[in-house]
């Protein structure tokens, strides 16, 4: 497809379980972002990649959160030992240019995580 693709779309995890969320950005897009959106809130920045380099991970809420983009294309966001407060929609976005400013970003439909 032409857009940003995320999987799984919906995930229910038991507390303490590890989860992995996948993002396929638009082909050729250099920049990739992960955002977390809790119910009734706006998206909150988690981390940013330029190609395979993770240039900013200041938004990751704890060391249980880890993201990678080893070949500069597909990215995975991993959450270890999930907690109830991790329940949210995880949005991946990509943009054509490098850098975090001045480029339109395109979001995927998100991965809806519920921790029970």
Residues that bind another protein (CB under 8 A): 33, 35, 40-45, 48, 56, 59, 91, 99-102, 104-105, 107-110
Give the shortest CB-45-to-another protein separation in angstroms: 5
- Which is closer to another protein, CB of 84 or CB of 104? 104
Question: CA Rg, the chain, in Å?
Answer: 13
- Which is closer to another protein, CB of 74 or CB of 100? 100
Task: Single out the residue of 15, 7, 33 nearest to residue 85, CA to CA.
Answer: 15
29 and 85 Cβ atoms separated by less than 8 Å: no
Give the shortest CB-107-to-another protein separation in angstroms: 4
Round to whole Å and give the CA distance between 59 and 4.
21
């Amino acid at each position: 497809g032409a857009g940003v693709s995320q999987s799984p779309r919906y995930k229910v995890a038991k507390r303490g379980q590890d989860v992995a969320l996948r993002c396929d950005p638009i082909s050729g897009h250099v920049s990739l972002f992960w955002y977390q959106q809790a119910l009734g809130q706006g998206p909150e920045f988690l981390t940013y990649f330029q190609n395979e380099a993770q240039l900013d991970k200041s938004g990751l809420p704890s060391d249980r959160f880890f993201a990678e983009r080893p070949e500069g294309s597909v990215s995975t966001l991993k959450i270890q030992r999930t907690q109830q407060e991790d329940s949210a929609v995880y949005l991946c976005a990509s943009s054509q240019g490098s850098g975090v400013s001045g480029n339109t970003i395109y979001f995927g439909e998100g991965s809806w995580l519920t921790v029970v």
